[in-house]
Every structure is written in C-alpha cells, then in structure tokens.
Structure 1
Amino acid sequence: MPPSPPSRPLPTVPVSAPQLPGKAPLNARSAAIETLLAWMDDHKPVDLHFNRLTTGLDPRDRGFAKSLVYGVLRHRQYLDWTIQRFSKHPLAKMKPRTLVTLEVGVLQILLLDRIPGSAAVNATVDTLKRAKQPRWLLGFVNGVLRTISRQAQQLEQEEEARDQGRPILNHPQWLIARWQQQFGLQQATAICRVNNRPPLLTLRVNSRRSDRTELLQSFLEQGLEARSCPHSPLGISLANYSGQITDLPGFTQGSFVVQDESAQLASLLLGPLDRGPRILDGCAGLGGKTSHLAQAMGREGMVVAVEPEARRFQLLGENLDRLGLAARTTLIQATLEEFALGQPQPFEAILLDAPCSGSGVIRRQPDIRWSRQPGDLARYQQTQLALLTTCAGLLGAKGRLVYATCSLEPEENQEVIALFLKEQPDFRLEDARTYLPVSAHALVDEQGFFRPAPAPDHDGFFAAALCRGSAL
C-alpha cells in the first residue's frame, strides 16, 4: 500500500536527489509528475519510470511520490472531469505537463487527507517553476487549483460523480463493458471501485522460520492492525500500514514474504508436497510461489525455478536466501522454451504462472487499465498456450500441472484451458475445491476453476488444476 502523504511541508530535497538535465533536483511532487509524463510518452510499466526517477529520494518522499503517481492513475477520469469543470481551456488542447500537474494538484486537494489546500496548490505550482515553465502557465494552473480548493467542500464525491449521466469508474469503457458482460453491472462496478483503492498489504508466513500465531502476535505487539487471512492458512493482512516492508518484525529473519491471498491459494492446487516431488516453477518472477512450494516441500524434494529477466532473477535469488530456502531450489536464468531444449528429467508437478494482461491486479498496478488494449488478449493467449504446451512436454506420466494468471479475461483463462485440453487429450481438469480450504470453495466456479474476482481482501486471479493420467 502506498504510504500516506505527510501532514506537514516536505523536507529539503537531499543532495543526492535525482535531477533532469537543465532542471532543479526533483522533489516528491516533481518526481511524480516526471514519472507520469514518461509513462504517457511510452506506456511502459509505470514502475520502471518511477524507480529511475526517484533514485536518491529519501523513503518518506519516495513513498509520497508513489502515492501521487498511483493516485492519479487510479482516479484519472474523475480528476480530468473536475479540471474540465473549472478550466476555460479544453483538456484536449492542454500540453501533457499542464494536465498532469493539474491532476496531481487536484488529487491532493480532493482525495488525499492531511494536506491543506493552500499547501497543495503552492507546492504543485512550484513544480512548474522547477521545470522552468512560463509565468502565464504558472498563473493559469494556480488559478484553476485555487478555485477548486475553495469549492472542495461543495464538489461531488468521486463515487457520486457522473459524466453525461454515466458514473465515473476510472476505467476505459471497453474494459468496463467486458466486465459488465462477464460479471453483470453490479459486480463490474464493484470491481472498478476496488481497483480505485489501495490494496491491503498481505503476507505469507514462511513456515520454515515461523508460524502464523507467533508472527501475528509480534505485529499486534507493535500496534499494527494485523489479522489472519480468511482462507489461506499462512496469510496475514495488515491494514493501514504505511511503513517500509523491511521494518516489519521478522523481515530480516525471513519469517514472511509479501504475497496476496489469491496467489497463496493458487499454489495449493499442486496438492500435498510433503512426499518430496521434483517441481518446476516455469515463470518464477520474484519467487512468491517458488518460495511457497519450497517451504511446503518434503525433505527430499527440489523446486526448479526458471526466470529469464536478469533483474527479477537476481531478486529471486535474494528473496530465497532471506527466507532460508535457497538449498531447496535450483535457479535457472532462461526462458521456459530454452530450459526445455535441455531435455531435463520429467517433473512430477509443474506450476505455470503465465504472463498475462494483469487485469486482476489493477488495484496494485493502476497503469494497466490505461495501457492494455482489446487486441492484446489474443497475443497473450498465443503465448500462454505455447508455454502450457511446453510444460506438458516437461511433465511426467502421472504428473499435475497448474496453470495460473492474474487476469480476469476468458481469452487468457478458460479459453486457454479449452484449447490445451483439445490438443492434449491425456490431460483432464480437476476441481480446484479438492485442494483448497473449505472456506475458499466459494472462490471456485461451476467448472472447477479457481476464479476469485478482485475484492477488498484479495486480488482477481485464475488457476486450473490439470492432471495427466492418475493423480499424484
């Protein structure tokens, strides 16, 4: 969850603060604006730009900058709707820097707590001075923001705001229409509302280092709002936590890893691992599921984790070291296809958390809603089916294969499984309820797919349990 904004003026920018050529060093607001401008220019993942532009900011300023970036992306339509009501200039004719600066200012005035309106206006206009913008532009932005600030109490709340009679849901209309068709109007609206709020911080206890009761007690003793997750036997959620993850009790000792409850439950679909099978994590990423499998593994078991991207591969290794699970894993820096060319010994179980549109985790990555296009889904499906087919070639005669995505879209989920089963008649779909706690059975649909929709306490997700021959 992005940290709450400070209640007093920001401190002096440190000497090591990032600086763009020919401009003053960046503070939190300036860094947020530059991040959003860079994202608008290429629509690459916003965190890539944020990490580059906030290097050198102290943690407090960096956290505030992230709350501004994510806040604008979560509430973009509402912010633009408000700006247009008080601006004589059409938004379409504004330069990107002008519009983004106004968005950052209105976000602070209307949607962030503990920032006085005058302070938000002055500090936001100051970013234009730092960027050496003309005086007339400073006057225009100052005037719009001060007008909005004066009328903040009378302005409609975001959830009541309507544009041409339609509620402002801060999602592109094509995505809203898809969800309305799939889930119905009420649930589609609820999903959008969930996506517009910061998520809970959810942890998975490392059962090799701690247990949930012990860790939960240590959090409560620190005055944290901690509770057990409703479904995952290893999950703990922390409400309203705005500090650094590294400051939590037990982090250094490897007692937990950050992981949403839906992802925790998906790993359970591989079934009991205490007999020590060889397991492949085909798209390991940062190692959330890799570490879950490794800590559940029997003494003789081994997890092989494949990850091609260099930065993620490095963090994967660091995470497993901190958790004390490195000895239970073999890490391979390669694509899954490259790994398969080596003809490794067949695996008893494989987990494939496939690349996807990410439409189930928009609350965590708010830029996704604006970056994805309908045509992307066919491309993802082609990649997903190819990876799933590669996994089939790596699985033993009586093995289990779990396919997972953090997407809500049928093209990436049910349709991929249908195409795979048509091509692989020796596989069968198992009911996910078989492997999940009873409390989580409501998250499984009538076909047996694990398919939770985004909700306040968990992400949207999809997982299918596939078995070749008889079960393990």
Structure 2
Amino acid sequence: MQTNQLRNSILDVLIRIDKDQGFSHLVLNEELKSGRILAKDEGLFTEIVYGTIQQKMTLDFYLEAFVKQGKKVQPWVKMLLRMSIYQMVYLDRIPDHAIIHEAVEIAKTRGHKGSASFVNGVLRSIQRKGVPETNQIQDRNKRIAITTSHPMWLVNRWIDQYGLEITEEMCKTNTKHKPITVRVQPLKVTREKAIQQLTSEGLEVEPSLFSPQGIIIVDGNILKSKLFTEDYVTIQDQTSMLVAEILHPEQNMKVLDACSAPGGKATHIAEKMRNHGEVYAHDLHAKKAKLVKEKADQLHLTNIQALAYDARKLQELYPVHTFDRILIDAPCSGLGVIRGKPEIKYHKTENDIEKLSSIQLDILNHVSTLLKEEGTMVYSTCTTDKLENETVVRRFLGQNECWQVDKTFFDELPEPLRGSIGISSVGLQIFPHTFNTDGFFLTRLKRKSSE
C-alpha cells in the first residue's frame, strides 16, 4: 500500500469515529477486515488511529500555538493536522519531512492549493519551533487534563472522588497501551499447557493473578496463535475474569447473567460450571443477545440460553427466588475502558452518568427479587465513577434493608487485591494503574440471615 493511501485510510477512519461518535475498535476492525490495509501496515495503522484519538486534547493544545485565533479550520483539515502532529511528536520511526509531505499531498487531493499551503505552513512551523510545553500550564487540574487528554469536567470529578494522586495516575495510565489478556477454555486445555504452547510459539506470557484461567500476553501476537484461532483461548481483561471467580457458580446451578453481551462473562460462568447446569443470559437488544449465543457456540458451550430482554422486566420471565447466582454487569459509562475505547472520554457527559446510575439502581431492585434466599449476587461495572459504583450499592442497600454486602467477598479476593487502594466497605474499585488492567468495580451481595 502506498503511504499516502495508508494515511488517507487513517484519516477516513478518524473522521468517521469523530463525526459519527462510533466505537474506535469497531470502526478500526471493520477497516482492517476490509482488506484495504496490508498486513505489514496494520500495526502503524492501529497506532496512529488510537494514538490520535487518545491524545486529541494534547494535540489540539499544540495546534493552537500555530493557528491564528478565530481562524476557521475544516474538520478534515484539523484531523489531518492532528494525526500528522501525533506522528511527529510520538513516533520516532517516521521522518518529519515524510510526514509533512504526505499531509500536504492529502490536503491537495481533498482540498485545494490553500488547504495544502495551510497544512504545510503549520507543520513546517512545528518542525522548526517544536511543540509548546504543557508544564507551562499554571492551573493544576487543567495541566492534567491537557497533558493526558481528559476533559476538565472528568478530571475535576475524579479529583473530588479520589484525590489528586489517584486521578493523575489514572489519567496517565489511560494514555498507555494495556497488555492483552486471554482466558483459557478449561474443558479444552489447562492454563499450564496453554502457557507452554504459547511460549513454544515465541510469545512471552505470564499467568494472571486474577483468575486461574487467565494469561497475560507480555509480548507477541496472540491473534496468530493456534490456541486463539482454534478457540482454546478467548480475549478478556483480567478484571472481567474476576467476576466469575467471585460469583462461584457450581455445576447444576441455575445462574442469571442479566446484562450479558457480548458474552465473555456468561461463557466464563458456563466454563466454571463445566458446561453443566443452566446459564440464562439476557441483553436489551436482539443483536447483542446474538453475540452471546455466538460466543457460546465458538467456545463449544451448550448450557447457555441467550435471549433479548430488558433486565428491568425479567420478572415477566421468571418467578421470584429462581436463581442460585445472579450477575448484574450493569450498563455503564465505560470510563474504566478508556485505554481500549479512547473516544469514550470525549463523548460521555455528567448527565449520562446520572442517567446510568438511575438505570443501574433500577436493574438491581428488579433483578434481586429473582435470587434464591441463600443465593449470592455480583454487581459489577467497567467504570471508575463512584456514582455508578459505590453510590448505587449504598442506595440499593438503603432501599432494601434485608440485603447486605457479603463480607466473605473481601477475604476471597486474590491476595494482591485485598490491600488495594480501591477497597471500600461496599466493594472493590480497581483503577487502571494499580494492576495495569481496565478500571472496574465489583461487589457481592446477599440477603441477611432471617435468624
């Protein structure tokens, strides 16, 4: 693929993600599967797309120093400048003159002579003078926001919730690559044998502390491994693996996964049950429920029944006290998975969080009635916002005095997590920087004894 064709594809994808507010990983994967990107260019393509989105606010800060205030810049031109500056500042392998040449050629093709001249002028000035230093920003919170490319409202919110140190570390980590982790299908292979196989294939791996089925890919391409292509392992973050471990499903139990798509946790639960018992997996949308079924089929699991249904209306399907175990992996803002979906931090608002918190509490109140008297229920989210996590749990407990946090939950956590900075009286908040994972919250609830 010619370099200007590659850069054009990168620009198209960035514009689509920005304009349509699409999920970057979905748009990027669609482009990679199209066949338009050569295998040798896939790494660079992915790096520039993710990097440009991840550092958008920082790149705009750099750009402002070289564009006259009030000048109207077309969105595609601004995106072209962002991706070019990203390469100049963050990537060492591409010479500045090559980056500038490609940008100018794209501007000529997409715009006119004036567009090309403007792009050339801005990038040449940056090449000569260098980008401004963010440490010159006097306001502490604004400096964190610009340096790590997080909206001011989010930085301020996290500082109010967790303090300066945790917020700064979390924001910094959100701009860095996270290692891929996989979960073995234990009915097909043990973790020990999988590690041996991956090592023999030249990958550097290590066992996860979060789950006896988890493996961290330190170095190497897991997507090319036979274990992945033949479904002996599936990709899942370590924090998500912790859910099934804490839920403790057993063979022949009846388990409910109320908000299941895309099915990673439901299939893990089914594996822990040795493909026995029944796992009822639901999601609001039929398309997403279908993903759960496909994931189960992929892993050769037959004890999962997937059906589209609103978690808040599951009482229409099941009588009270039906399930031995319930998982509510609630719909959330996703602020814990910014590293993999960086556009989230620009698209979400505080109003979104308020609405989601209300939905989460509603789901808890409705679904909890379906748990057997001696059963346990896990509530989890992939966000780092207290309103969606601790606050929801406290409100649920306040409205339902017969419920409590299962205190044995804390003792059963993997040892490194027991002293984590995210431990509270109502659960565990995992921050991205603590264990180099997604940000995640979980807790385990049960009814109080009637004695």
How does the TM-score come out when normalised to structure 2?
Answer: 0.89
Equivalent residue for 1:249, pick from 226, 233, 247: 226
Partners of 1:278 and 1:347 within 8 A in 2: yes
Partner of 1:434: 411
Mapping of residues 209-228 of structure 1, within 5 Å: 209-228=188-207
Partner of 1:203: 182
Equivalent residue for 1:261, pick from 238, 246, 261: 238
Secondary structure (helix, strand or coil) at the match of 2:328 reads strand
Equivalent residue for 2:46, pick from 66, 71, 95: 66
Partners of 2:394 and 2:426 within 8 A in 1: no
Once the two structures are superposed, what CA deviation does each residue of 1:280-337 show, in whole Å capped at 9, x if it has no partner?
A: 1111111111111011015642211112334433332222222221x12111123324
> Which moves more between the two structures, 310-319 or 292-301?
310-319
Residues 1:149 and 2:123 aligned together? no
Partner of 1:28: 6
Classify 1:399/1:74 alpha carbon distance in 2 versus 1 (closer, same or farther; 3 Å).
same
Partner of 2:342: 366
Partner of 2:385: 409
Shift of 1:150: 4.5
Partner of 1:20: none
Shift of 1:435: 2.8
Shift of 1:156: 6.4
Structure 2: any 5+ residue segments left out of the alignment? Answer: none
> Which moves more between the two structures, 58-67 or 424-433?
58-67
Alpha-carbon distance between aligned partners in 2 of 1:91 and 1:34, rounded to the nearest angstrom: 26
Secondary structure (helix, strand or coil) at the match of 1:274 reads coil
Alpha-carbon distance between aligned partners in 1 of 2:102 and 2:279, rounded to the nearest angstrom: 51
Structure 1: any 5+ residue segments left out of the alignment? Answer: 1-10, 14-25
Give the AA of the match of 1:331. Answer: A
Partner of 1:104: 83
Alpha-carbon distance between aligned partners in 1 of 2:135 and 2:219, rounded to the nearest angstrom: 26
Partner of 1:451: 429
> Which moves more between the two structures, 453-462 or 436-445?
436-445
Secondary structure (helix, strand or coil) at the match of 1:384 reads helix
Shift of 1:44: 4.4
Partner of 1:83: 63
Partners of 1:283 and 1:352 within 8 A in 2: yes
Give the AA of the match of 2:137. Answer: D
Partner of 2:291: 315
Alpha-carbon distance between aligned partners in 1 of 2:29 and 2:71, rounded to the nearest angstrom: 29
Q: How many residues align?
A: 439
Mapping of residues 301-380 of structure 1, within 5 Å: 301-325=277-301, 327-343=302-318, 346-380=322-356
Shift of 1:139: 1.5
Partner of 1:21: none
Shift of 1:248: 2.1
Alpha-carbon distance between aligned partners in 1 of 2:262 and 2:71, rounded to the nearest angstrom: 40
Instruction: Tell me the C-alpha RMSD between the 2 structures.
Output: 2.6
Partners of 1:274 and 1:297 within 8 A in 2: yes
Alpha-carbon distance between aligned partners in 2 of 1:290 and 1:324, rounded to the nearest angstrom: 13
Alpha-carbon distance between aligned partners in 2 of 1:434 and 1:256, rounded to the nearest angstrom: 29
Partners of 2:281 and 2:304 within 8 A in 1: yes
Classify 1:204/1:442 alpha carbon distance in 2 versus 1 (closer, same or farther; 3 Å).
farther
Classify 1:298/1:240 alpha carbon distance in 2 versus 1 (closer, same or farther; 3 Å).
closer
Alpha-carbon distance between aligned partners in 2 of 1:313 and 1:162, rounded to the nearest angstrom: 50
Alpha-carbon distance between aligned partners in 1 of 2:328 and 2:285, rounded to the nearest angstrom: 16
Alpha-carbon distance between aligned partners in 2 of 1:195 and 1:220, rounded to the nearest angstrom: 29
Residues 1:37 and 2:15 aligned together? yes
Secondary structure (helix, strand or coil) at the match of 1:203 reads strand
Shift of 1:151: 5.1
Shift of 1:212: 1.7
Shift of 1:148: 2.4
Alpha-carbon distance between aligned partners in 1 of 2:236 and 2:49, rounded to the nearest angstrom: 22
Partner of 2:217: 238
Q: Which one has a larger percent helix, Structure 1 or Structure 2?
A: 2
Residues 1:129 and 2:103 aligned together? no
Give the AA of the match of 1:226. Answer: V
Once the two structures are superposed, what CA deviation does each residue of 1:11-53 show, in whole Å capped at 9, x if it has no partner?
A: 149xxxxxxxxxxxx9432233233333433434344554566
Secondary structure (helix, strand or coil) at the match of 2:215 reads strand
Percent of matched pairs sharing the same residue: 29
Shift of 1:185: 1.2
